[in-house]
């Protein structure tokens, strides 16, 4: 069968791979679609991010949905023919973090398409995937929508780091797919006002359409946020989704004392005015992946509580994977790009 395999920066190939063997607790899924994520793009362009680099060929992909083809003898939660959203996380279930309700910090996590451990955990951009039954979440919605469950989970988890959002005034910096989903989640969680910034008009237009009350292009209008600095700041919560240092520094200036800034985007080292963090008693928190939020995401998508259709730019056949990755890289044109298998 075919899979999208990264061999080196800009060396993405459609390789033939051997099928996996299904155990009694496993499910065989015919993959229908797979969304391209920012980390897939980092592997594609740079071979990794931060200190993590690919050291062997690795199948990419962790935003996967498909149809159950067959199930192992012990599987009861899904049956052949079911559409499933595939949770890319497989925690060990017995380390100190798993037993503390924090399995996303599992000391022996297997997460699809990640080079964090070696041998790497192969990803889901392949025609057929064998996963643990716990990873297959049945759903009544179409696979192209179900494939949004993973990035939506990330944003639901991020929202929980912010505490209650009911009534909150929220800033979102970075209007890519994660920024847009964070804005939608903030709206869904009862935020009173949502303001978004980016350096490009394209994503901001989508942001305006799906969730934001007002958007600002801070490249064209660098002082747009100044009015929010009055009386020591305005926003109760900020989601920093760009991974860019200047966006975080800008957020520090416009949140109110005691506000929470959730750092969602990955970037690298950032130089922060710590005296502002101190004087305004800012609460700066990281957010990493997700846990029970995957099931919530499936439900919220299924019921239409969150409508992600405006975020889907194009579904590209696997054969054109390189074009799909290039399209996904062009933030002016693309929000979410999916591969079809």
Among 293, 328, 337, 341, indicate the residue that binds a second copy (CB under 8 A). Answer: 293
Smallest distance, a second copy to C-beta of residue 34, A: 23
Q: Closer CB to a second copy, residue 70 or residue 102? A: 102
**Total of chain residues touching a second copy, rule CB under 8 A:** 65
Could you say whether residue 210 binds a second copy (CB under 8 A)?
no
Which residue is associated with the tokens 């071979």?
A: 47
Could you say whether residue 267 binds a second copy (CB under 8 A)?
yes
Structure tokens at 66: 């498909």
Residue 148 burial (CB count, 10 A):
28
Residue 224 burial (CB count, 10 A):
16
Smallest distance, a second copy to C-beta of residue 270, A: 5
* 189: helix, strand or coil: coil
Could you say whether residue 257 binds a second copy (CB under 8 A)?
yes
First CA to last CA distance, the chain: 10
Sign of the C-alpha dihedral, residues 246, 251, 254, 257?
A: negative
Which residue is associated with the tokens 């992946």?
A: 289
Among 272, 322, 327, 340, indicate the residue that binds a second copy (CB under 8 A). Answer: 272
Q: Closer CB to a second copy, residue 31 or residue 255? A: 255
Residue 53 burial (CB count, 10 A):
12
DSSP state of 87: P
Smallest distance, a second copy to C-beta of residue 232, A: 6
Question: Is residue 278 within a helix (H) or strand (E), and if so which, with residue range?
Answer: helix 274-279
Among 13, 79, 96, 219, indicate the residue that binds a second copy (CB under 8 A). Answer: 96
- Nearest-10 Cα torsion for 289, 291, 293, 296: 140
Residue list 236-255, contact with a second copy (CB under 8 A): 243, 245, 248
18-26, 117-125, 220-228, 265-273 -> range binding a second copy (CB under 8 A): 265-273
Phi, psi of 74 (to 5 degrees): -95, 5
Could you say whether residue 108 binds a second copy (CB under 8 A)?
no
Structure tokens at 340: 């079809």
Could you say whether residue 105 binds a second copy (CB under 8 A)?
yes
Among 24, 80, 258, 304, indicate the residue that binds a second copy (CB under 8 A). Answer: 258
Distance from C-alpha of 85 to C-alpha of 299, rounded to nearest angstrom: 11
Among 31, 98, 194, 211, indicate the residue that binds a second copy (CB under 8 A). Answer: 98
Among 285, 322, 333, 340, indicate the residue that binds a second copy (CB under 8 A). Answer: 285
Residues 6 or more apart whose CB falls under 8 angstroms from that of 338 comprise 33, 34, 35, 36, 63, 144, 147, 312, 314, 315, 316, 324
Instruction: Using alpha carbons only, give the angle 118, 123, 313 rounded to the nearest 5 degrees.
Output: 140
Q: Closer CB to a second copy, residue 146 or residue 334? A: 146
61-69, 77-85, 91-99, 218-226 -> range binding a second copy (CB under 8 A): 91-99
Question: Is residue 68 within a helix (H) or strand (E), and if so which, with residue range?
Answer: strand 63-71
Q: Closer CB to a second copy, residue 202 or residue 267? A: 267
CB 149 within 8 A of CB 157: no
Smallest distance, a second copy to C-beta of residue 51, A: 8
The interface mask with a second copy, positions 142-181, x = CB under 8 A, is --------------x--xxx-xxxxx--------------
Could you say whether residue 281 binds a second copy (CB under 8 A)?
yes
Distance from C-alpha of 237 to C-alpha of 158, rounded to nearest angstrom: 11
The interface mask with a second copy, positions 177-196, x = CB under 8 A, is --------x--xxx-x----
Phi, psi of 205 (to 5 degrees): -65, -40
Q: What does the binding site for a second copy look like in residue numbers (CB under 8 A)? A: 49-50, 93-94, 96-103, 105, 107, 156, 159-161, 163-167, 185, 188-190, 192, 231-232, 243, 245, 248, 257-258, 263-264, 266-288, 292-293, 296, 299-300
């Amino acid at each position: 069968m075919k899979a999208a395999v990264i061999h080196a920066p800009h060396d993405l190939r459609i390789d033939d791979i051997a099928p996996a063997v299904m155990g009694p607790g496993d499910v065989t899924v015919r993959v229908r679609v797979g969304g391209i994520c920012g980390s897939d793009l980092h592997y594609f362009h740079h071979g990794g991010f931060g200190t993590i680099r690919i050291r062997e060929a690795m199948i990419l992909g962790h935003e996967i949905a498909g149809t159950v083809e067959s199930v192992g003898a012990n599987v009861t939660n899904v049956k052949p023919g079911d559409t499933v959203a595939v949770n890319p996380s497989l925690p060990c279930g017995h380390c100190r973090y798993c037993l503390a309700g924090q399995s996303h910090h599992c000391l022996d996590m297997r997460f699809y398409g990640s080079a964090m451990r070696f041998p790497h955990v192969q990803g889901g951009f392949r025609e057929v995937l064998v996963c643990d039954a716990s990873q297959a979440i049945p759903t009544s919605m179409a696979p192209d929508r179900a494939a949004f469950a993973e990035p939506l989970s990330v944003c639901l988890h991020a929202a929980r780091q912010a505490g209650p959002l009911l009534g909150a005034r929220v800033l979102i910096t970075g209007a890519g797919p994660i920024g847009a989903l964070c804005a939608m989640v903030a709206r869904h969680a009862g935020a009173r006002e949502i303001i978004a910034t980016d350096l490009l008009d394209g994503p901001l237009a989508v942001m305006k359409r799906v969730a934001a009350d007002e958007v600002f292009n801070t490249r064209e209008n660098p002082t747009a946020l100044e009015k929010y600095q009055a009386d020591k700041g305005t926003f109760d919560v900020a989601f920093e989704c760009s991974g860019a240092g200047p966006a975080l520094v800008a957020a520090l200036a416009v949140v109110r004392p005691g506000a929470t800034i959730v750092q969602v985007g990955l970037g690298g080292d950032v130089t922060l005015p710590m005296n502002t963090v101190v004087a305004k008693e800012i609460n700066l928190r990281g957010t990493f992946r997700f846990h029970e939020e995957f099931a919530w995401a499936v439900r919220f998508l299924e019921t239409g509580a969150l409508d992600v259709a405006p975020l889907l730019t194009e579904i590209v056949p696997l054969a054109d994977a390189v074009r799909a990755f290039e399209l996904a890289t062009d933030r002016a044109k693309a929000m979410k790009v999916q591969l079809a298998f």
